[in-house]
Structure 1
């Protein structure tokens, strides 16, 4: 790692980067819109946190494209929530309650054991370890969001969460970009998981691979998730609060089998498995590496972690409001170098 003249960190890698701006067919003046949707899982109490995110997202991108929004909640949305979020866009908006079977304990889970897990996780200071709803959410995002009836008609999704920020204008259609380039999963930030939350996830994954070796791509990104030829998991994952992807990846036989295998193992409740490492491990193993894309040009922030395009010309073009010196990509806990190592 080196530093450029302006103080920004530079990560060196060997891969072919596909520049979305080089293809005029991806811009807003093209009339075609894909079967794509913006998916937001949100509580009623997060409305005031969500509204600034929606305004920024619309101003930076969606006002040019008007892709629809699907809002999901484990309880019914209030009239105030529906009214205010619908007023933020000219696009169609849909609000739905998640079916109970997608947000509750499966029959094989011992709920007393699950409660004991939450108590211990909280004592161990594992983030969100004591929140029962968080465990349901992780399981839902891992295995059910793409099966919600409102998403049945769509092929692509963009996951947005309340409180996130979009630093830069986006002057092309990321959905058209991933379709044209056969990309199934796109990310902006990669980092390491809290090890206490997933003590047996890799062991269970190894059992799955041994049972179903046919699902592992011969051109995979295993170097992203393992530093020692798949002997152990290095905790690297794509941060799933930002995802642009192909829903058909999750609907594939490989992913569905993997989720079912994990679900039966009980780790969503007996540990605190998150959807981010599960999405990431599945993408790294089941997809060809060319089908995973780093959206370097999309400036983004969630909580204390952000991605600011390091190239000055990209920031200028996108009218980015961010400081590349704060870019998480160059910090120790970033996994961007591991991602690029898959191409070496």
Structure 2
């Protein structure tokens, strides 16, 4: 059938639509534009939004959670000891902090997206990046485009990322090579030692962090499985917490053979730094005679910067640093931070965060309560959760040391 024949069979209304379809498309597009402008003009602004460095366009405003809704909190026994913060639109002085190399960029972008999508796109907290070499323009462009708050880039001072003058280089080389031959994790690595030493003490001294009270350490290769239902920094401040963690594990003994002896020498010399209501029972099974290797995994760490700036912590870090253990052995920042928090803080100032869902190779944390997973839109498999395993993991020991009741569902967890 020809075109004229088809046209005669079409209804009159269809012929009219066909005749004026271009006009209709233009008019419809215009209507959409007008409605979009009207919506934007009537969207309430968020006074806490900051324009990120190098950007002329503020990040998109995303509504915060409904403060009238009562959100479920995991573990009744912990929940009764804390206050759920009111999301009133006021931020605290807090920041995300990442130590990264330029070559880490394309693995780091996933970590940033996880934090932004699950948490920071509602709060627009700043992000500070540190590197022992200058960041490339590409690194700055990509990361500042992903972060909804301001971004800052710091070059680590040479004296904070080099072998100090008080280290015996021959002794260091022999110890490092021996650890490498014994297959101690990162046992022969010099950069890894610099990283551990920097994260243990120097990072908090950076002027880029002077304006902040709290920090969240974000490492490359992390994943967040669940939405955060509240401002985690405000939670810390409201509840007077100074150290927060998700996973706690056991350290490799071969990396820290003299660490506990060095720390007990320090506490003998500075007994006034040890808090009377400390968490010694988390890090020692015999009232401080020996270290049981339990520590908080610092690739998720939310903590008070004032604690790391305190005279107590500075005395502690300087004492450890002068002993040479970061180089002659391979002391990690995780046991260094964890032992300090356990000894120098009131045990009520430490907090176990659950309900968030977290991964860093090769360990998973996934809420064991289904109602929490559904509420927080978690995408993790509870069968993969390792939080409550007896072997190697220390969460149960933390609960015992704090005097908390164990969650009722952990008996179902595989060990």
Same fold (TM over 0.5): yes
Q: Distance in 2 between matches of 1:342 and 1:130?
A: 35
* Structure 1: segments with no counterpart, 5+ residues: 1-12
Contact 1:14 1:343 in 2 (8 A): no
Query: Normalising by structure 1, what TM-score?
Result: 0.92
The corresponding residue for 2:131 is: 73
Give the deviation of 1:24 after TM superposition: 5.2
The corresponding residue for 2:220 is: 162
- Does structure 1 residue 254 correspond to structure 2 residue 315? no
The corresponding residue for 2:165 is: 107
- Does structure 1 residue 308 correspond to structure 2 residue 370? no
Between 176-185 and 325-334, report the one with greater CA deviation: 325-334
Change (3 A) 1:104 1:288: same
Contact 2:125 2:148 in 1 (8 A): no
Query: SS of 2:97's equivalent?
Result: strand
The corresponding residue for 2:382 is: 324
Contact 2:97 2:217 in 1 (8 A): yes
Give the deviation of 1:218 after TM superposition: 1.1
Q: Distance in 2 between matches of 1:292 and 1:300?
A: 18
Q: Distance in 1 between matches of 2:334 and 2:148?
A: 31
Alignment of 1:1-344 (within 5 A): 16-17=78-79, 23=84, 25=86, 27=87, 30-331=88-389, 332-344=391-403
* Larger RCO: 1 or 2 (CA < 8 Å, sep 6+): 1
CA deviation map 1:245-275 (0-9, x unaligned)? 1001111111111111111111000000000
Give the deviation of 1:335 after TM superposition: 0.4
Q: Distance in 2 between matches of 1:216 and 1:188?
A: 24
Give the deviation of 1:106 after TM superposition: 1.8
Change (3 A) 1:157 1:140: same
Give the deviation of 1:19 after TM superposition: 7.7
Q: Distance in 1 between matches of 2:161 and 2:223?
A: 27
Give the deviation of 1:90 after TM superposition: 2.5
Contact 1:15 1:340 in 2 (8 A): no
Q: Distance in 1 between matches of 2:199 and 2:302?
A: 14
* Structure 2: segments with no counterpart, 5+ residues: 1-74, 404-415
Give the deviation of 1:18 after TM superposition: 5.2
Contact 2:275 2:345 in 1 (8 A): yes
Q: Distance in 2 between matches of 1:137 and 1:239?
A: 15
Query: SS of 1:342's equivalent?
Result: helix
Query: SS of 1:329's equivalent?
Result: coil
How many residue pairs get aligned? The number is 328
Query: SS of 2:402's equivalent?
Result: coil
Of the two, which has the highest radius of gyration? 2
Give the deviation of 1:175 after TM superposition: 0.6
Query: Normalising by structure 2, what TM-score?
Result: 0.77
